[in-house]
Chain A
Amino acid sequence: MSLSPTDLPNSYIGRTVPRPNLARLTEGRGLYVSDLTLPRMVHVAFLRSPYAHAEIRSIDTSAAENMPGVVRIVTGEQMQAFCTPWVGVLAHLKGLKSAPQHPMAVGRVRWQGEPVVAVLATSRALAEDAAEHILVDYSELPAVVDVLAALDPSKPVIHDGLGDNLAFERRLDAGHVDAAFAEADHVIEQSFTFGRHTGVTLEARSIVADWNKAEARLTVHLGTQAPHMMQNIIAMHLGLEEPQVRILCHDVGGSFGIKVHVYADDMAVAALARMAGRPVKYVADRLESFVADIHARDHVVHGRIAVKNSGEITAFEIDDLTGIGPYSMYPRTSAVEANQIVNLVGGQYACPNYRARARVVFQNKAMMSQYRGVGHPIATSVTEGLVDLAAARIGMDPLEIRRRNLVADDAYPCASASGLRFEAMSHHASLNKLLGMMDYAGLRTEQAALRAKGIYRGIGFASFIEITNPGPAFYGVGGARISAQDGAAVRLDATGAVIVQSSITEQGQGSEAVIAQVTATAMGVPLDRVRVILGDTDNTPYGGGTWASRGAGIGGEAAWQAGRALRSNILTLAGTILQARPETLDIRAGVVVDAEDGRERLPLSELARIAYFRPDTLPCDFQSELMATRHFVPREYPFAFTNGIQASYLEVDTDTGFTRLLRHWVVEDCGTVINPQLVDEQIRGGVVQGLGAALFEHCQYDAQGQMINANMADYLVPMAGEMPDIDVAHVVSPTLESVIGAKGAGEAGTAGAAACVVNAVNDALSPFWVVISEIPMTPALILRALGRG
């Protein structure tokens, strides 16, 4: 086996090492925004709209103004002079339209939970007390709630100026779809429904904004995935120059895409800090998180598949309809999920005939946008649901039909029917590895034996592809000022310790560990000599942040390149000190050694001492450079595709409709695995969120557009008690776009989990001739399908 450049004698790449921030976070010594208290700080409570759609006739704040502790009360109208509205569109999503959105409602409210009035007071409790005394006179309007109703001409238009409620439509037609359907032995159709759910981060969204009038500078402490994007946007809409805004991102308690967007209430807090001239703190409580954070999914997809008796899949066709709330989210828009679905369906299969349509509609619900997996769970569920139906129709084992149609492992590079370009994937190797883990034949035997006793167990599969490491194709080409590249600055301090400043962010998944491991390996220093600095627009390179499974693959490679550059500088300096050729030297365990035999020549602490304190001992024409900065973005492929396959084994209680998850398996290929434990736990966390979508999580609305389960008792997040053991394994196909070869791993779990659970439930219920294609699959839904209850 040949060694790659990352397989150094003291490599941390591919090793499970403790995260540098582990003790700090587990001992409760992290610093979250909610921990911050600044001098003269005030708290804001938002009075939010109780209606999904209403005119605001008048707002009377007079009684509230005199309540104890109240500092200032601001309406949406009054805020207009301090913050300009925004429109969430991107140029490359052709035809996408949205309306100007204000930080707080002006004249009309368009979803239940939209901020209407901000109350600044000396405590959150006093602000809430005062908010209860604000009188808002609303005139309720009919609401558009159901996605199917949004395009009905008899229903109201949510934004008068836009003409209708259709935000975006995309069509795609590749190959010879009509001919393929005409020539197929079987055509199977099925509609799939995906409930809305949301991210429920452990730490709610939080912000402290602090306007320093003397500096004319706004410091914003914000739990965000994209500090530089937020710097740009807050400056733009508050009428400031970018250098006048500093974003500080401390510890963040989970994001999952929830914290990558621009929220109306966050913008309001930034404006309020300027208006009040005092630091303003806002920590969303759970109740408002449910109606103020973005939701995800909410799709109805009609799908068709064409199949030959041989098992060959010859065409896919889908028609997706999704509801996004009253505005397209800013600046990443709310059309990306539907766009991804069009891109992804059938992408794991060698099937050239594919037609798709996606329509994105406005409605009077909380806003919908990118959340972990963005479109992948929908695309995978539709694709894999159709493939299972096709297999059942022709009487073929679900694994066998996949074997016959998955893109061959030696077919790369290649492209999908929708035009996605694939560098290298491993569907068949992954499938074979999965079989080795799960004893498929044994499970089928057990299933048959138990079925005879009235116990219904099911096995389901889902192959998937996943978009990771995005370059500018996602946002930059559409005109959004969201950096596609990331940077790292690595320096050797005077004791020989290493400090890395990286533009990616940490939200609990271990970005900091990944950067430290890559840098330590690139440099040849012990991990505990590396300190990582993230999340500060004043002190890190400019970059995109952590989202779309890009932190390790893009930010990690930047750290690798910077670390190698600094190593080279160090060896040049060492060569000068030691009067040796730099190429004969290496750094191992923090010591400059002879590359040949590993003989220790010079500890980095001594090298640094000479460089910083005794440069007089070095030649006059030599200047040491003990800091190096590098940036990286993949250039050859717009995305690094990963792939994998998941399987679920479960039991359905046909009397109660309850589903018990027994076991879950994942094989995925994220290229080089930097920290196996972090990757596996990312996969497991992603699976759990997918299982939540499959069985539990649902933002339920009534006909008036009221979210009726917006609390932690009625909105069911997946809990440990209901989760199965999740076995994770890897196939490694590194991307050749970078030296480290890492692709993203953050969303693979979510991409396929729900799909294989639905397939497993349908497998369990196959004796009843029942097909369920709606999630979450609640006990009531399953009982209804079985004609019981």
Chain B
Amino acid sequence: MKASAFDYVRAKSLPEALDLLARHGEAAKLLAGGQSLLPALNLRLSAPEILIDISHLPELRGISTTATSLRIGALTRHVELQNAALVAEHAPVLTQAIGHVAHAAIRSRGTIGGSLANADPAAELPACALALHARIVMQSPRGERVIAADDFFTGLFATALLPDEILTAVEINLAQPGDVHGFGELARRSGDYAIVGLAAQGRVQNGKLAALRLGYFSIGTKATLATKAAAILTAGGGIEAAAAALADDLEPHDDLQADAATRLHLARVLLRRVISGMMPSLKAAA
């Protein structure tokens, strides 16, 4: 199928993009990497009147660190994330996850801001943002707003972004001694959306797992933190108790690949595998 007709404008600066967005409101869609939007247009699932191309905004580029944070510009492409030394140092779970995002051609164009703003429940990056306790930076004509990833993903393809806001960056705390991470997903084919996936981030303190955050994706309507399972694991309750608690943490759905029960089973398999990878001692205990 072919997209229905739309207007296109390329913004040259963030203020111009914000101005265009304010002017066109709901009739507009922001175009960054286009890896989700353009297929949706061609499938006529989305028919905006105008595309505002933000892919050339200098303000949204670059990966840098401050005294406390790693800052990743929203236009950072997946391939740039994959290759960035700063990301590997401070958010290695992102480096690990990005290899599972679709295929090379898509990783060459897709952006982290686009993935987070799209909030596909099957996407890897929202779950990574949850696991990393990331902060989402947004800009509107009213100024900058920063919220925790925990509050950003509100539902199926739904976020806390207001209609006149543009996601500009992601901030993540710098890595600390003892940080550990794990990632796993079960996809039928390399590059497919996973049946279920898990991004995990924690810290080993005094030989014990602490500050554990388990970001699940492809299970339920949005990326979800499994807080009860994480609490059990950090309290030393063991993997099986944590796996059992996933029934409370997650709201698995049925789809063509797996029904809810199978999906929950697979979420538990992933928990065992990812946690044992992070903490081999826990595997022995289990």
Q: Which residues of A contact B (CB under 8 A)?
A: 123-125, 128-129, 132, 285, 287, 655-656, 658, 696, 700, 708-709, 713-714, 716, 718-719, 721-722, 778-780, 783-784, 788-789
In the complex, the answer to whether B186 meets A779 with C-beta atoms within 8 Å is: yes
Docked-complex contact A700 and B256, CB < 8 angstroms: yes
In the complex, what residues of A have CB within 8 A of residue B1's CB?
128, 285, 287
Q: Give chain B's interface secondary structure class.
A: loop
Q: Which of B2, B190, B257, B259 contacts A719 (CB 8 A)?
A: B190
Which residues of B in the span 72-99 have a Cβ within 8 Å of any Cβ on A? none
* Size of the chain B interface, CB-CB below 8 angstroms: 24
- The answer to whether A783 touches B262, judged by C-beta atoms less than 8 angstroms apart, is yes
Inter-chain CA distance A192–B43, complex, in Å, is 36
Closest to B4 in A: A129
Q: A68: nearest residue on chain B (CB-CB)?
A: B5
Given contacts A125-B3, A778-B257, contact A789 B266 (CB under 8 A): yes
Q: Tell which of B2, B4, B44, B269 has the most Cβ of chain A within 10 Å.
A: B2
**Which residues from chain B contact A696 at a C-beta distance below 8 Å?**
188-189
Asked if B183 is at the interface of the complex by the 8 Å CB criterion, the answer is no
Please measure, in the bound complex, the distance between the C-alpha atom of A713 and the C-alpha atom of B188, giving whole angstroms: 11
Q: Which residues of B contact A124 (CB under 8 A)?
A: 2
When C-beta atoms are compared, the residue in chain B nearest to A713 turns out to be: B193
Which residues of A have CB within 8 Å of B266?
656, 779, 789
Interface of A is mostly: loop
User: A329 to B140, alpha carbons, bound, how many Å?
Assistant: 59
- CA–CA, A789 to B265, complex, Å? 5
User: For A713, what are the chain B residues with a Cβ–Cβ distance below 8 Å?
Assistant: 192-193
Report if B30 contacts A (CB, 8 A): no
Q: Which residue of B lies closest to A285 (CB)?
A: B1
Q: List 12 A-B contacts (CB under 8 A).
A: A123-B2, A125-B4, A125-B5, A129-B5, A709-B256, A713-B193, A779-B195, A779-B257, A780-B259, A780-B262, A788-B265, A789-B262
| One of A285, A655, A721, A780 near B258 (C-beta < 8 A) | A780
B191 sits at the interface (CB 8 A): yes
Q: Mark B169-200, 1 if CB is under 8 A from A, else 0.
A: 00000000000000000101111110100000
Given contacts A783-B265, A789-B261, whether A722 and B256 have CB atoms under 8 Å apart is: no
- Within 8 Å CB of A656, what residues of B? 186, 266, 269
A240: shortest Cβ distance to chain B, in Å?
32
Task: Tell me, rounded to whole Å, the shortest Cβ–Cβ distance linking A430 to chain B.
Answer: 31
* Closest 5 pairs (CB-CB, A-B): A721-B190, A125-B2, A789-B262, A789-B265, A655-B269
Besides A125-B2, A708-B256, A783-B262, 7 new A-B residue pairs in contact (Cβ under 8 A), listed by A number: A125-B4, A128-B2, A287-B1, A658-B186, A709-B256, A779-B266, A789-B258
In the assembly, what is the distance between CA of A657 and CA of B259, in Å?
14
CB distance from B183 to the nearest CB of A (A): 16
- Say yes or no: A722-B2 contact (C-beta < 8 A), given A287-B43, A779-B258: no
Residues in B neighbouring A285, C-beta threshold 8 A: 1
In the assembly, what is the distance between CA of A716 and CA of B257, in Å? 11
What 1/0 mask marks residues of chain B from 8 to 39 whose CB sits below 8 Å from any chain A CB?
Answer: 00000000000000000000000000000000
- Contact in complex: B256, A714 (CB < 8 Å): yes
Contacts of A128 in B (CB 8 A): 1-2, 4, 44
Chain B, residue nearest A658 (CB): B186
Q: Which residues of B contact A716 (CB under 8 A)?
A: 188-189, 192
Q: Report how far A655 CA is from B258 CA in the complex, Å.
A: 14
Residues of A within 8 A of B195 (CB): 779
User: A721 with B189: in contact, given A287-B1, A780-B257 (CB under 8 Å)?
Assistant: yes
| Contact between A721 and B191, CB atoms less than 8 A apart | yes
In the complex, chain A residues whose CB is within 8 Å of the CB of B256: 700, 708-709, 714
Shortest Cβ gap from A542 to chain B (Å) = 39
Nearest CB of chain B from residue A660's CB, rounded to whole Å: 12
A170 to chain B, nearest CB (A): 34
Q: Which residues of B contact A784 (CB under 8 A)?
A: 262
Closest beta carbon of chain B to A77's beta carbon, Å: 25
By a CB distance below 8 angstroms, the chain A residues around B189 are 696, 716, 718-719, 721-722
Chain A residues whose CB sits within 8 angstroms of the CB of B261 once the complex forms: 789
Find chain A residues with CB under 8 A from B269 CB.
Answer: 655-656
From A124, A285, A789, name the one whose CB has the most chain B CB atoms within 10 angstroms. A789
Q: Which residues of B contact A125 (CB under 8 A)?
A: 2-5
Q: List residues of chain A with CB within 8 A of the CB of B259.
A: 780
**Residues of A contacting B186 in the complex (Cβ-Cβ under 8 angstroms):** 656, 658, 779
The CA-CA distance from A297 to B269 in the complex, in Å, is: 34
Residues of A within 8 A of B2 (CB): 123-125, 128
Contacts of A709 in B (CB 8 A): 256
Q: How far is the CB of A779 from chain B (nearest CB, A)?
A: 7
- Docked pose: A121 CA to B99 CA in angstroms: 43
Determine the distance from Cα of A716 to Cα of B4 in the docked complex, in whole angstroms.
27
In the bound complex, how far is the Cα of B2 from the Cα of A205, in angstroms?
Answer: 17
Q: Which residues of B contact A718 (CB under 8 A)?
A: 189
Contacts of B44 in A (CB 8 A): 128, 132
- Please report the C-alpha to C-alpha distance between residue A700 and residue B44 in the assembled complex, in whole angstroms: 22
Chain B residues with Cβ under 8 A from A789's Cβ?
258, 261-262, 265-266
* B193 contacts across to A, CB distance below 8 A: 713
What distance in Å separates the Cβ of A742 from its nearest Cβ neighbour in chain B?
35
Separation of A603 and B189 alpha carbons in the complex (Å): 57
Which residue on A lies nearest to B269, using beta carbons?
Answer: A655
User: Which listed residue, A132, A708, A714, A722, touches B190 by the CB 8 Å rule?
Assistant: A722
Residues of A within 8 A of B3 (CB): 125
Q: Please, which residues of chain B bring their CB within 8 A of the CB of A655?
A: 269
Please report the C-alpha to C-alpha distance between residue A287 and residue B4 in the assembled complex, in whole angstroms.
16
Shortest distance from the beta carbon of A753 to any chain B beta carbon, whole Å: 17
A784 and B259 CA atoms in complex are apart in Å by: 11
Q: Which residues of the partner chain B approach A780 to less than 8 Å between Cβ atoms?
A: 257-259, 262
Least distance between B245 CB and chain A CB atoms (Å) = 18
